[in-house]
């Protein structure tokens, strides 16, 4: 029983970061109806951004999110205005090809500049643990979950309570109706892609103390982001949060009870089961 609780607790910790990645993707899809296959590469950029800030300026990875969030938001807004905006009304396959190409450009550009060597961020707490109710929890992952919870709460309140947040939600519900009501849907698209990019970059910053950093790391996170979004329900922020936690727990339990090399397989099996028996996701399609 203790091993089960330990595994579940570890899964919840990493699942919180997965949820942040999924929320970013679901906001982009909900507002823009663009399937962003470069989402994992945006997370990778966040990891390298954090590594640069840490190695050059000595800023702690978790403190660096104060720089990463606005920096990645501006980067995402720029990408939207320069590239993504041009295919908003194009065929879905054109949107997919553009985002795949964007991901390849980003990963290869980083590899050209920093090579494919693995980077590591080592801090005084990187391998430390905390004791809670007899369970040993990774200190970096505990800090990551606390920060993720705070960011998710602020984002939820922003979408629910502010005029801009409600405008984003209205655009996600019906883009044409929102435009007829006087909402600047182009601006909402820029904000949505900027927020989604900022969340992906922040997730990259949060996992950087516990993951190897290399140009191709984004691919695995892109796949997980799609599994999370489909599992929770396309367009649902709450569903993405739930999906991230479920994926984290599934990985952790599979690694302990089956094989660490097989944990990804169980995630994708879960993904296929959801597609077969509940294609709309656990929570269905939400209005954000």
Which pLDDT tens digit goes with each residue over 50-83?
999 999 999 999 999 999 999 999 999 999 999 9
Burial class (CB in 10 A: 0-12, 13-18, 19+), 121: buried
pLDDT in tens, 106-161: 999 999 999 999 999 988 888 888 887 778 888 999 999 999 999 999 999 999 99
Evaluate whether 221 touches 21 at the Cβ level (below 8 Å).
Answer: yes
pLDDT in tens, 204-263: 999 999 899 999 999 989 989 988 988 887 777 888 999 999 999 999 999 888 887 788
Domains of the chain: 2-277 (1.10.3470)
3-state secondary structure the chain: CHHHHHHHHHHHHHHHHHHHHHHHHHHHHHHHCCCCCCHHHHHHHHHHHHHHHHHHHCCCCCCCHHHHHHHHHHHHHHHHHHCHHHHCCCCHHHHHHHHHHHHHHHHHHHHHHHCCCCECCCCCCCCCEEEECCEEEEHHHHHHHHHHHHHHHHHHHHHHHCHHHHHHHHHHHCHHHHHHCCCCHHHHHHHHHHHHHHHHHHHHHHHCCCCCECCCCHHHHHHHHHHHHHHHCCCCHHHHHHHHHHHHHHHHHHHHHCCHHHHHHHHHHHHHHHHHHCCCCCCCCCCC
Looking at residue 6, its pLDDT comes to 87
**Residue 239 CA from chain centroid, whole number:** 13
Looking at per-residue pLDDT, the higher value among 43 and 267 belongs to 43
pLDDT surpasses 80 at 284:
no
Looking at residue 285, its pLDDT comes to 53
Looking at residue 130, its pLDDT comes to 86
Place of tokens 């922040």: 202
Q: What average pLDDT does range 190-194 have in this prediction?
A: 96
Evaluate whether 15 touches 246 at the Cβ level (below 8 Å).
Answer: yes
Work out the mean pLDDT of the chain and round it to a whole number: 90
What's the predicted TM-score (pTM) here? Answer: 0.92
Looking at residue 262, its pLDDT comes to 80
- How far, in Å, CA of 166 to CA of 32, rounded? 15
Range with lowest mean pLDDT among 105-109, 156-160, 162-166, 265-269: 265-269
- The confidence band for 286, taking pLDDT boundaries of 50, 70 and 90, is very low
Looking at residue 91, its pLDDT comes to 86
Evaluate whether 63 touches 125 at the Cβ level (below 8 Å).
Answer: no
Nearest to 67 by CA among 79, 78, 54, 81: 54
**Residue 132 CA from chain centroid, whole number:** 27
Place of tokens 């709309």: 280
């Amino acid at each position: 029983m203790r091993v089960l609780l330990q595994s579940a607790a570890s899964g919840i910790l990493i699942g919180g970061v997965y949820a942040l990645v999924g929320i970013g993707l679901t906001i982009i899809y909900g507002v823009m109806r663009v399937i962003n296959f470069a989402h994992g590469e945006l997370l990778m950029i966040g990891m390298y951004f954090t590594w640069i800030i840490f190695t050059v300026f000595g800023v702690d990875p978790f403190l660096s999110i104060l720089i990463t969030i606005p920096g990645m938001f501006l980067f995402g807004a720029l990408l939207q205005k320069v590239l993504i905006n041009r295919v908003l009304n194009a065929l879905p396959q054109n949107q997919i090809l553009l985002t795949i190409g964007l991901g390849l450009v980003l990963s290869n550009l980083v590899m050209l500049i920093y090579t494919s060597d693995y980077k590591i961020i080592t801090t005084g707490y990187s391998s430390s643990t905390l004791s809670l109710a007899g369970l040993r929890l990774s200190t970096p992952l505990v800090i990551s979950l606390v920060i993720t919870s705070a960011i998710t709460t602020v984002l939820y309140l922003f979408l629910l309570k502010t005029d801009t947040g409600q405008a984003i939600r209205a655009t996600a519900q019906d883009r044409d109706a929102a435009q007829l009501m006087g909402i600047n849907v182009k601006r909402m698209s820029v904000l949505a892609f900027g927020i989604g990019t900022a969340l992906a970059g922040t997730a990259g910053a949060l996992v950087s103390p516990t993951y190897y950093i290399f140009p191709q790391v984004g691919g695995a996170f892109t796949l997980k982001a799609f599994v999370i979004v489909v599992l929770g329900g396309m367009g649902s922020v709450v569903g993405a949060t739930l999906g991230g936690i479920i994926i984290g727990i599934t990985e952790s339990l599979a690694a302990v009870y089956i094989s660490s090399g097989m944990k990804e397989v169980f995630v994708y099996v879960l993904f296929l089961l959801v597609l077969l028996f509940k294609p709309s996701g656990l929570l269905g399609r939400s209005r954000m």
